[in-house]
Amino acid sequence: MASSQNAQLLPGTLFLLILRSLGRGPLHGYAIAKRIKNASDGIDIEDGSLYPALNRLLVKGLVQAEWGTSENNRRARFYRLTPQGRKYLEAETREFNRLIRRIQLAMRTV
């Protein structure tokens, strides 16, 4: 679905990036997109693909959303990690790092 639109991302990476960007507090959609873009140099995602991913996280109950006002005084929807989301982020980060290490190891030995 949403994540598969970005062939250059590992599956689930977009979820992880979103959750990570919310780690330091609630953000609205555009802010999430900006943070991901700034943090991950070279990863090119369409802003639009963010929303299906956000909705999937909502379905899973990993994030919550509520309407608020942005720094430019616009009505915007803010996303916040739920406790489950935080737990999930930690677990997945560990898992992700392990996966990356294994890939690096494999790349080196092959």
Partner 1 sequence: MSVLREWINRLRFFGNRRDFDREITEEIESHLEERAAELEKSGLLRKDAMRQARWEFGSTDVAREDSRGAWQFQWLEEFRTDLRIGLRMLARSPGFSILAVLCLTLGTGANAAVFSWVEGLLFCPYPAVVHQQRLMALTGTARGEAEPTLLSWPDYQDLEKNCKLFDGFFVSKITSTTLSIGDRAERTVGSIVSANYFDTIGVRPILGRGFALKENEGRNAHPVMVISYEFWQRHYNGDPEIVGKMQRLNGVVHTVIGVAPEDFYGTFVGWRMQFWVPVSMEEIFEPGGYKLDDRGARWIEAFARRGSGVSAKQAQEEIFAAASRLEAQYPLTNRGRSVKLWPLWQTPFNGAGTLLPTLEITVAVALCVLLIASANAGNLLLVFSSTRRHEMTVRAAIGAGRRRLLKQLLTEGLALSALGTVGGLIVAYLCRDALVLLFPARSGVSLYLPGRMDWRVFAVSVGLCASTTILIGLLPAVKASSIDIAAALKSEMAGVVGGHEKSSVRSALVVVQVSLSFLLLVGGGLLMQSLQKIRTASPGFSTQRVMATAIDLRSAGYDEKRARNFQDELLDRVSALPGVESAAFARVIPLGVVPYSSSPIVVDGYYVPLEELPTVEYNEVGPAYFATLGIPVIAGREFTRADQESAAPVTMVNETMATHFWKGKDPVGQRLQVKGKWRRVVGVVRDSKYEDMRETRKAFFYVPRQQAFAVSGILHIRTPLSIRTMSTLLTREVQALDGNLALNELITLQDQVNRSTSPQKVAVTMLGVLGSLALVLAGIGLYGVVSYTVSQSAREIGLRMALGARASDLLRLVLSEGLLLAAGGLVVGMATALSLTRFLGAYLYAMSPRDPLTFGIAAIVMVLVASTASFVPAWDAVHTDPTKAIREG
Binding span for partner 1 by CB under 8 A among 8-16, 18-26, 51-59, 96-104: 51-59
Binding span for partner 1 by CB under 8 A among 8-16, 22-30, 92-100, 102-110: 22-30
Selected from 19, 21, 36, 49, the binder of partner 1 by CB under 8 A is 49
Distance of CA 70 to the CA centre of its chain: 20
Element of type H or E holding 89: helix 83-109
CA–CA separation, 78 and 95 (whole Å): 27
**Residue labelled with tokens 């890939």:** 103
Which stretches of the chain bind partner 1, using CB under 8 A? 1-2, 28-31, 33, 46-52, 54-56, 58-61, 70, 72, 74-77, 84
